[in-house]
A and B are shown apart, each in its own frame.
Chain A
């Protein structure tokens, strides 16, 4: 992103993604606000069109396939429940990465942090469920998720600050290490002795996340929803958030302005790691109910897409996570009706964000010439 040094530290208050000179013309200023939104919409439309071409090439009718997808995601109460259940983890991951990416800290190790959060949280749950009341165990499990994810991200933070190892590489390597660590734990020390499968014993019903009324929506969904405005406040209403955005706009300027850049980077990594870990324990507690190889949900990467499509803004991330959840859940219906592989959702998601990137670049250039 822009490495050009703004004339004064104050200019970093502008949006880093569209940082540029201020124009006195308020219409241009207005345009700057509306255009990123339009660019995102254009990206979504073109991405869906590209997906339609792929569906057509696979020998299915794109209109029918998309209709099945829509009905699969929103067509019934059950469908809607599934979509909302899928929204929660995407939203949580996306919110954490929003903070990291705002600081230009490229944490792509969400997968590993998710696993470590799941391990610590479930470890607490499994060891306390027989001896402590659920009202104590559940909060402890969620805390364990936060801490486990943050600690795994802390390894990358340490490697970055102490040895200048780029966090992109370290967080990714830590993904594989966490994955094999989980596989070992569920195969040997944590294995349920009564099962032939490599998996831990089950979390008892009382320590799983409570659900709302008689729906399957659990409080994790509410936690994710509640965190969205908090992340907004953090980023735009606190000195820490200002520092994070300043570091993201230009580390050099932030340093000259007397900010502790290292501390900002550590916070950004640990915060995104903590939310990834919380996502992990949430999914294990509410969905998988035990530790096993299958708890990986690919949220490390889909969280990145959600954060980027949401333009690193909590409101955008909320919309993006709902959209991606609908694509993922809808793809299951499309799969069962037309036999199209469910990975189609993943492809469309990637294409959408890629086209948003392109639309962004084109509009930035277009505004620049005005």
Chain B
């Protein structure tokens, strides 16, 4: 029988916030990567494909390390998986950069191609390697911070997370410092706003754009690997389920600012967690399919705020042709 009051207990809210943060991380990492890429003036719509490739590369690496049963290595399996996701993402980014920066192809078409290619390759490789077998890897345990984790309420929410979540919060701060306080960050923003002026003042636009695309795609690949290696422990076809596209939307929602992307991702995390909880509690007669639509409907809703073109990097999506 429906009991809506169970939604309002403290324990419920705590678990909601905890799983909200966890669910936010893959989308946040992809969105953060895309912010760096787009700040450099390149529109990479391939996030969904890059995440998938990162997710599979991470999963297969972690799986291989676990199967090798080398005692000193097995504990590192998730970490090696994350590193593989990062690298695989960068490799996909290299394809994007070669096409968008060097060959100056249409960035929208190239990004869509990257998604299709990522879907095809991951499906092919997974079936070829695992067949119909459902393989699993050990996910990352949480890492309570001594002295703080025992605090009421804030303890479990903020001080009993897994290392990847801590790492992502660190990446948020690092990216703010990188984008706004370093020369590299300044150069990236400059080639995204006015590549001609940047080139005149001695910045190599192509090099900076390559760097922005590779760095962004690496973070996106990491987001995919976090999903499979640190959180779910499995891979299947299309496991990212649109998270890459949601991240693209989040970048617009966040108006190209990392901290707002985190807030947006957290909102998605909470919504997804809430949807899982409502399903588990079997409240009323809401069909679970309608609950599963929630993140996608929410994506459309957060974009309803209207035109954001004024805050987009001025040279976004345009190839830079040297004079």
A residues sitting closer than 8 Å to B (CB atoms) are 1, 3, 54, 58, 106, 108, 159, 163-166, 168-170, 172-174, 176-177, 180-181, 183-184, 187-188, 301, 304-305, 308, 340-341, 343-344, 346-347, 349-351, 353-354, 357-358, 360-362
Nearest-neighbour CB distance to chain A for B31, whole angstroms, equals: 13
Given contacts A341-B124, A353-B113, contact A180 B289 (CB under 8 A): yes
User: Can you add 13 more A-B contacts, CB < 8 Å, to A106-B112, A347-B117, A361-B99?
Assistant: A3-B318, A159-B303, A169-B245, A173-B296, A173-B297, A174-B296, A176-B293, A181-B293, A184-B287, A304-B116, A346-B124, A347-B120, A350-B113
**B299–chain A nearest beta-carbon distance, Å:** 5
A181 to B289 CA separation, bound complex (whole angstroms): 7
Bound Cα distance from A165 to B120, whole angstroms:
28
CB atoms of A184 and B290 under 8 A apart: yes
In the complex, A72→B308 CA distance in Å?
Answer: 50
**Contact call A358/B99, Cβ cutoff below 8 A:** yes
Q: Are B296 and A177 in contact (CB under 8 A)?
A: yes
Tell me the nearest residue of chain A to B121, going by C-beta: A347
Complex CA–CA separation, A165 to B104 (angstroms): 25
Which of B99, B128, B307, B318 interacts with A58 by CB under 8 Å?
Answer: B128
**CB < 8 Å: which of A108, A169, A301 contacts B249?**
A169
CB pair B245–A350 under 8 Å, yes or no, is: no
Q: Are B289 and A187 in contact (CB under 8 A)?
A: yes
Q: Does B242 interact with chain A (Cβ within 8 Å)?
A: yes
**Are A340 and B128 in contact, CB atoms less than 8 angstroms apart?**
yes
B197 at the interface (CB under 8 A from A): no
CA distance A174 to B245 in the complex (A): 12
Tell me if A349 and B120 are in contact (CB < 8 A).
yes
Most A CB within 10 A of own CB, among B108, B124, B308, B318: B124
Contact residue among B252, B293, B303 (Cβ-Cβ distance under 8 Å from A177): B293
Q: Is the CB of A165 within 8 A of B112?
A: no
Q: A187 vs B289: C-alpha distance in the bound complex, in angstroms?
A: 10
Which secondary structure characterizes the binding site on chain A?
A: helix
Q: How far is the CB of B18 from chain A (nearest CB, A)?
A: 25
Q: List 28 A-B contacts (CB under 8 A).
A: A58-B128, A106-B108, A106-B112, A159-B300, A163-B303, A164-B306, A164-B307, A164-B308, A166-B252, A168-B112, A172-B242, A173-B242, A173-B249, A173-B297, A176-B242, A183-B289, A340-B128, A341-B127, A343-B123, A343-B124, A346-B120, A349-B120, A353-B113, A357-B103, A357-B106, A357-B110, A358-B99, A362-B103
- The reply to whether B116 and A350 contact each other, CB–CB distance below 8 Å, is yes
Query: Bound state CA distance, A304 and B103, in angstroms?
Result: 21
A1 and B106 contact, CB distance less than 8 A:
yes
B300-A170 in contact (CB<8A): yes
Give the distance to chain B from A233, nearest Cβ to Cβ, in Å. Answer: 26
Q: Which of A169, A183, A308 contacts B299 (CB 8 A)?
A: A169
Is the beta-carbon distance between A172 and B124 smaller than 8 angstroms?
no
Question: Residue of A at shortest CB range from B285?
Answer: A188
The answer to whether A164 and B309 touch (CB under 8 A), given A176-B296, A347-B120, is yes
Report whether A357 and B105 are in contact in the complex, using a CB–CB cutoff of 8 Å.
yes
In contact, B105 and A360 (Cβ under 8 angstroms): yes
In the docked arrangement, what's the CA distance between A1 and B110, Å? 12
Question: In the bound complex, do residue A173 and residue B128 qualify as a contact, i.e. CB atoms below 8 Å apart?
Answer: no
Given contacts A176-B242, A358-B99, contact A341 B303 (CB under 8 A): no
A108 near B112: Cβ-Cβ < 8 Å? yes
Chain B, Cβ-Cβ closest to A308: B109
A350 contact set on B, CB distance < 8 A = 113, 116-117, 120-121
Q: Are the CB atoms of B108 and A168 closer together than 8 Å?
A: yes
Q: Which of B99, B119, B252, B308 contacts A346 (CB 8 A)?
A: B119
One of B116, B121, B249 near A305 (C-beta < 8 A): B116
Instruction: Report the separation of the CA atoms of residues A47 and B106 in the bound assembly, to the nearest whole angstrom.
Output: 19
B61 to chain A, nearest CB (A): 17
Q: CA A183 – CA B289 in complex, angstroms?
A: 7
User: Taking the complex as formed, is B270 at the interface, i.e. its CB lies under 8 A from any CB of chain A?
Assistant: no
A165 lies within 8 A of B303 (CB): yes
Task: Flag if B245 contacts A357 (CB, 8 Å).
Answer: no
A301 touches B103 (CB 8 A): no
Residue of A nearest to B302 (CB): A165
Given the known inter-chain contacts A341-B124, A350-B117, please indicate yes or no for A173 contacting B300, CB distance below 8 A.
yes
In the complex the two chains form, is B242's CB within 8 Å of A169's CB? Answer: no
A180 lies within 8 A of B293 (CB): yes
Is the beta-carbon distance between A343 and B299 smaller than 8 angstroms?
Answer: no
Contacts of A340 in B (CB 8 A): 128
CA A229 to CA B195, docked complex, whole Å? 44
Contact of A180 with B292 at beta-carbon distance under 8 Å, contacts A163-B306, A304-B112 already known: yes
Q: Is the CB of A169 within 8 A of B287?
A: no
B109 — which chain A residues lie within 8 A by C-beta?
308, 357
- Write out, one digit per residue, whether chain B residues 307-320 have a CB within 8 A of any chain A CB (1) or not (0): 11100000000100
Q: Kindly state the separation between the CA atoms of A3 and B43 in the bound complex, as whole angstroms.
A: 15
CB of A358 to closest CB in B, whole Å: 6
Do A165 and B304 form a contact, CB below 8 Å, given A180-B289, A304-B116?
yes
Query: Does the CB pair B245–A173 fall under 8 Å?
Result: yes
A347–B304 alpha-carbon span in the complex (Å): 36
B55 to A: closest C-beta gap in Å: 16
Is B45 at the interface (CB under 8 A from chain A)? yes
Q: Which chain B residues border A346 with CB–CB below 8 Å?
A: 116, 119-120, 123-124
B248 within 8 A of A: yes
Q: Which residues on A sit within 8 Å (CB–CB) of B287?
A: 184, 187-188
| Least distance between B130 CB and chain A CB atoms (Å) | 10
Minimum CB–CB distance for A138 against chain B, Å? 30
User: Chain A residues with Cβ under 8 A from B121's Cβ?
Assistant: 347, 350
With A163-B306, A301-B119 known as contacts, the answer to whether A341 contacts B113 (CB < 8 A) is no
Q: B99: which A residues are within 8 A, CB to CB?
A: 354, 357-358, 361
CA distance A176 to B112 in the complex (A): 17
Contact A165 B300 (CB under 8 A): yes
Complex Cα distance A350/B120, Å? 8
